[in-house]
């Protein structure tokens, strides 16, 4: 029952899907829920595949691709895009770590954040259109899996940046190897099942990218926050799309 609770918590936190209503969040549930992040990504990917399959029968492939990108944003409540915007505002708005963290915590959206959101949506759309139709559905299935795994890896490799704590502190500080390994294994299995060798290569590529992101976060602000985890997911998803557009196109 505890594992089911952790899965539902991951599904509730990462998406608009609510199966049993809002679950009460307990600290010990948070790192365990991250085991299921790639699985939640797979579920979201399945929804995107269905949405794209339906849209391409009503409209042109270009419109179907745009609807898939917008659907992905809505399914996640734009949570990761919000993290990307806050991260860009913080890291580009100041070179002082403490000030950067203050900016990231501010709920207002700055110019860097706005530009980041617009640029990310456009880049995802352009990259998705570059993936051939014969591999489009596999792409929509694979990318959310690898994006959610990146969040777990980034949390595992990094300390939490804010001394005062926050919701992300329990995710990061309490996450251990026994939580990360099952998440990584599920992402690898899904990657191979969906895309074979290309799925494994893409996993390895993004693993290195995420490791570099952890080093950058450590250098700039002393670790990661919830916003940085969301930003990592968004950046790695668009990199995955660009990778697949280049290799499969």
Cβ atoms 64, 55 nearer than 8 A: yes
Q: What DSSP state is assigned to residue 35?
A: G
pLDDT tens-digit readout, 73-100: 999 999 999 999 999 999 999 989 999 9
pTM (2 d.p.): 0.94
Angle at Cα 154 formed by Cα 153 and Cα 158, nearest 5°?
A: 115
Band of the pLDDT at 20, cuts 50, 70, 90? low
| Structure-derived torsion over alpha carbons of residues 217, 212, 156, 240, reported in degrees to the nearest 10 | 110
For residue 19, pLDDT beyond 60: yes
Tokens of 196: 């074979």
For residue 17, the model assigns a pLDDT of: 85
For residue 140, the model assigns a pLDDT of: 98
Pinpoint the alpha helices (H) of the chain: 2-14, 29-33, 37-58, 61-75, 79-93, 97-105, 111-129, 136-157, 167-173, 177-195, 197-221, 226-248
For residue 151, the model assigns a pLDDT of: 96
The pLDDT > 70 percentage for the chain reads 94
Name the residue among 71, 154, 79 with its Cα closest to residue 117. 79
For residue 57, the model assigns a pLDDT of: 94
pLDDT tens-digit readout, 183-208: 999 999 999 999 999 999 999 999 99
pLDDT tens-digit readout, 119-144: 999 999 999 999 999 999 999 999 99
Mean pLDDT, range 40-63, rounded to an integer: 96
For residue 21, the model assigns a pLDDT of: 56
């Amino acid at each position: 029952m505890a594992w089911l609770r952790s899965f539902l918590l991951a599904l509730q936190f990462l998406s608009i899907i609510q199966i049993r209503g809002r679950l009460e969040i307990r600290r010990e549930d948070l790192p365990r829920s991250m085991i299921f992040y790639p699985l939640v990504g797979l579920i979201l990917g399945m929804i995107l595949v269905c949405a794209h399959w339906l849209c391409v029968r009503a409209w042109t492939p270009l419109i179907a691709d745009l609807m898939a990108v917008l659907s992905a944003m809505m399914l996640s409540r734009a949570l990761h895009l919000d993290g990307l915007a806050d991260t860009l505002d913080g890291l580009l708005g100041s070179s002082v770590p403490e000030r950067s963290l203050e900016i990231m915590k501010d709920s207002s959206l700055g110019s860097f954040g706005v530009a980041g959101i617009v640029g990310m949506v456009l880049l995802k759309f352009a990259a998705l259109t570059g993936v051939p139709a014969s591999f489009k559905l596999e792409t929509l299935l694979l990318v959310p899996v690898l994006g959610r795994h990146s969040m777990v890896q980034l949390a595992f490799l990094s300390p939490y940046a804010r001394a005062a704590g926050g919701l992300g502190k329990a995710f990061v500080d309490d996450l251990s190897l026994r939580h990360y390994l099952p998440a990584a294994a599920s992402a690898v299995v899904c990657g191979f099942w969906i895309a074979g060798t290309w799925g494994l290569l893409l996993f390895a590529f993004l693993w290195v990218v995420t490791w570099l992101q952890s080093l950058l976060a450590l250098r700039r602000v002393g670790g990661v926050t919830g916003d940085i985890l969301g930003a990592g997911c968004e950046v790695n998803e668009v990199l995955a799309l660009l990778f697949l557009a280049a290799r499969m196109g």
